[in-house]
């Protein structure tokens, strides 16, 4: 790790791979010898088209995206998708089904309610510690779609499986675990993810959507919210986030070098296990938020006995170059976000720090 950089556990925007930052730095003033930065060229230029191709094919290869799914680069964050999905697919007289396993899933449901009829199919609230098994979920046939959040970033709760429905379109908010493990893309009608955790910088939202779904977009849709029109225009209906897409192309190349999604999954398992082990060995000094079967491999959330001890933990961690560990304001406690680019050395450093802190304060 470069001297001066810290172990950054931020939940998002989050750590990016160092080689990606270095390459972006090296290409900053003159991109591939063009005499201009990638931020300073037309999105319709040949040079940028190559960048877009690299980002799209990178994601397609890594995730094995089938040919009948489009890969789109949008703006407005995952939050905009909370509204765009029902705007396009929740027609009058139909109901959308929401599986709510955390704060983000609840927000997605609330946005859908403003667009039409939405139903909570499963609610893990108010504590959000768990996810349903596939057998616990059955939705009425004829529902518009079933929506779930594959990893709840705030609570640190993750589906250990891809939620699939044989007869209904499945929509997934995969913002905080996309690219961390293989995913059955074909089984999903639409997947969306804000880039700022595992894909790249903030300001880009990746959407992977089946052609079948695109055909369902109603005529007369507002142009900027029209998935079909955006797909037809290869995400260039208007000016895309060119810089963000460039960084995504570099992240994809970096991830391929790590053995792709299969390679990084192994490492992600190892990283998460190291921290959960420190929690489980602590005899209750640290208390994990998620129940065992739903523990997130991306966001490890845990509590200490009181606020004063939590503050001491966070400030001593920071003094040890372990930053970004404060839990989300709605939950409190500690959250260690350990996305793909987070180095395993940082996980070892945190686990050792947790042991030492417990020895001193237990
Ligand atoms: C799972 C999940 N969904 C949605 C969002 C909202 O993303 P954005 O801020 O890009 O709108 C977040 C943000 O952290 C998230 O973690």
- For 238-278, the pLDDT digits (tens) are 999 999 999 999 999 999 999 999 999 999 999 999 999 99
Residue 328, pLDDT > 90, answer yes
Instruction: Indicate the helix (H) or strand (E) that contains 109.
Output: helix 103-115
Q: Residue 77 Cα, ligand 1 centroid: separation in angstroms? A: 7
Sign of the torsion angle spanned by Cα atoms 324, 326, 329, 330: positive
Task: Give CA separation, 13 vs 162, 201, 260, 307, 324, in Å.
Answer: 25, 7, 22, 25, 11
Instruction: State the distance from the centre of ligand 1 to the C-alpha of 80, rounded, in angstroms.
Output: 10
β-partners of residue 194 are: 205
Nearest to 91 by CA among 216, 228, 227, 225: 216
**Residue 26 pLDDT more than 80?**
yes
pLDDT category of residue 89 using cuts at 50, 70 and 90: very high
Residues marked active site are found at: 104, 173, 197
Peptide bond into 126 cis (omega under 30): yes
Residue to mutate, 14, 74, 79, 177, ligand 1, most ligand atoms under 8 Å from C-beta: 79
Nearest-atom index, ligand 1, CA of 11? 14
Ligand 1, atom nearest to 202 Cα: 10
pLDDT tens per residue across span 52-84: 999 999 999 999 999 999 999 999 999 999 999
Instruction: Label residue 3 by pLDDT band (50, 70, 90).
Output: confident
Exposed e or buried b per residue across 13-26, where buried means at least 16 C-beta atoms within 10 angstroms of its C-beta: ebbbbeebbebbee
b (16+ CB within 10 A) / e for 65-89:
beeebbbbbbbbbbebbbbbbbbbb
Edge to edge, what strands does the sheet with 205-210 contain? 69-74, 205-210, 190-194, 170-173, 145-149, 95-100, 117-123
Ligand 1 atom at shortest distance from the alpha carbon of 80: 11
**CA 217 – ligand 1 centroid, Å:** 24
User: How many Å lie between the centroid of ligand 1 and the Cα of residue 100?
Assistant: 14
List, chain by chain if needed, residues with CB within 6 Å of any ligand 1 atom. Answer: 12, 77-79, 104, 149, 153, 173, 175-176, 194
Q: Which atom of ligand 1 is nearest to the CA of 149?
A: 1
Q: What angle do CA 165, 170, 171 make, to 5 degrees?
A: 160
Give nearest CA residue, ligand 1 atom 16.
153
What is the helix (H) or strand (E) element at residue 99, kind and residue range? strand 95-100
């Amino acid at each position: 790790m470069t001297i001066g950089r810290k172990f950054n556990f931020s939940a998002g925007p989050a750590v990016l791979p160092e080689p990606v930052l270095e390459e972006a730095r090296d290409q900053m003033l003159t991109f591939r010898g063009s005499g201009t930065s990638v931020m300073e060229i037309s999105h319709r230029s040949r040079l940028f088209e190559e960048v877009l191709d690299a980002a799209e094919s990178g994601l397609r290869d890594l995730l094995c995206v089938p040919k009948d799914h489009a890969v789109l680069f949008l703006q407005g964050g995952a939050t905009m998708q909370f509204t765009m999905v029902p705007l396009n697919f929740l027609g009058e007289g139909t109901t959308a089904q929401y599986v709510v396993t955390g704060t983000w899933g609840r927000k997605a449901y609330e946005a859908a309610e403003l667009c039409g009829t939405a139903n909570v199919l499963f609610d893990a609230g108010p504590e959000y510690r768990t996810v349903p098994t596939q057998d616990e979920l059955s939705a009425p046939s004829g529902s518009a779609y079933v929506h779930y959040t594959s990893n709840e970033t705030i609570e640190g709760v993750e589906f250990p499986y891809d939620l699939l429905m044989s007869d209904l379109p499945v929509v997934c908010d995969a913002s905080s675990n996309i690219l961390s493990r293989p995913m059955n893309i074909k089984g999903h009608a639409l997947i969306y993810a804000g880039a700022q955790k595992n894909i790249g910088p903030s300001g880009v939202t990746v959407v992977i959507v089946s052609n079948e779904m695109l055909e369902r977009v109603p005529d007369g849709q507002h142009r900027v919210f029209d998935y079909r029109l955006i797909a037809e225009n290869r995400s260039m209906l208007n000016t895309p986030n060119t810089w963000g897409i460039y960084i995504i192309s570099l992240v994809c190349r970096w991830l391929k070098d790590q053995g792709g999604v299969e390679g990084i999954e192994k490492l992600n398992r190892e990283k998460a296990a190291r921290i959960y082990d420190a929690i489980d060995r602590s005899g209750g000094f640290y208390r994990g938020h998620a129940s065992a079967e739903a523990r997130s491999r991306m966001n490890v959330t845990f509590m200490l006995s009181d606020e004063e001890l939590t503050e001491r933990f966070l400030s001593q961690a920071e003094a040890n170059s372990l930053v970004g560990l404060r839990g989300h304001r709605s939950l409190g406690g500690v959250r260690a976000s350990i996305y793909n680019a987070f180095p395993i050395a940082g996980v070892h450093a945190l686990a050792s720090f947790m042991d030492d802190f417990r020895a001193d304060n237990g």
